[in-house]
Structure 1
């Protein structure tokens, strides 16, 4: 009886150690990806670790969103291995969302964009879904988004100039 209990406990500990290792491995892989990507020409790295490259710039003078605004975007999200996990392009309809309800990386970069801008955004795990993951997104995943900001719908009390 004691032997079975010991073996069961040992197996549980081994399983826990392995799953922790996978999370640590994923975090290390994400860090390596972001470090390598930062060296690519045209990639800008923000202090938060989020990276972006400009694909297309919209007209000058557009309204950059603020956190209380809603944004209308077309986007595609994929994992570092290229697997697409979400795409408004595939649905054929842009998405309108309150900026404040998005992942930290989106909140940060969208406030730097103007309507008509299209960027590729590289999101380290801590600025995306982190250690928990989300649906088809595994824990500690680098996320790569192609984001096209179509419009900014100003939040309460915000006046659009122009």
Structure 2
């Protein structure tokens, strides 16, 4: 039979144990904070220079100046290219081609953003949950999410003018013997899509 000889260990000072536990706790708190903040680049940019905050809490940064002074109103339909991301950088929506968006039918933050743009302008917008979907989860968008949108305004026109163009197009197609499938908009774009309500 073998005998095991016990080697006595020196006692560890209590202060060392306190330092170790404090360091572990700080590491966990830091990891949690970083996970909640999201993509450091988007968060840093949101707090950086050139970012303006409106009275509603919408934040924006001009990426490319537009032309003219005319801006869309609530009764206009805009034609935009856009990309929507979460703060962690995850893309939840992106236009494949220019997309028509009625200003009065999108979430409040997106409507406010569109109404400050001129033709040809490109902006980055940070929408707090109160201007987007709030406590409601929408598909890949978690509840209480700040949304980041890159938006390029290609053009806009009054909704009445768009409806008139659609009616003229439908009349032309009926005279030629075919109707547009699914109520397509001029240029073949389907209505809807994007950050709707």
Q: Write the deviation string for residues 18-75 of structure 1: whole angstroms up to 9, x where unpaired.
A: xxxxxxx9xxx57xx99976541000000110100000011223x2100011000000
| Runs of at least 4 residues off by over 6 Å | 33-36
| Higher-RCO chain (CA-CA 8 Å, sequence separation at least 6) | 1
Task: Tell me how far apart the structure 1 counterparts of residues 157 and 68 of structure 2 sit (CA, whole Å).
Answer: 18
Give yes or no for the alignment of 1:104 onto 2:108: yes
Q: Write the deviation string for residues 75-121 of structure 1: whole angstroms up to 9, x where unpaired.
A: 00000000000001xx2x11102111101001111111111000000
Structure 1: runs of 5+ lacking an equivalent: 1-24, 158-162
SS at match of 1:156: helix
Structure 1 pair 125/59, CA: closer, same or farther in 2 (3 Å)? same
Match among 61, 72, 88 for residue 79 of structure 2: 72
Structure 2: runs of 5+ lacking an equivalent: 1-31, 162-197
Task: Tell me how far apart the structure 1 counterparts of residues 46 and 89 of structure 2 sit (CA, whole Å).
Answer: 18
Structure 1 pair 35/118, CA: closer, same or farther in 2 (3 Å)? closer
- TM-score, L = length of structure 2: 0.58
Q: Which has the larger radius of gyration?
A: 2
Q: How many residues align?
A: 124
Cα RMSD (Å) of the superposition? 2.3
1:90-129 to 2 correspondences below 5 Å: 91=96, 93-129=97-133
Task: Tell me how far apart the structure 2 counterparts of residues 84 and 109 of structure 1 sit (CA, whole Å).
Answer: 19
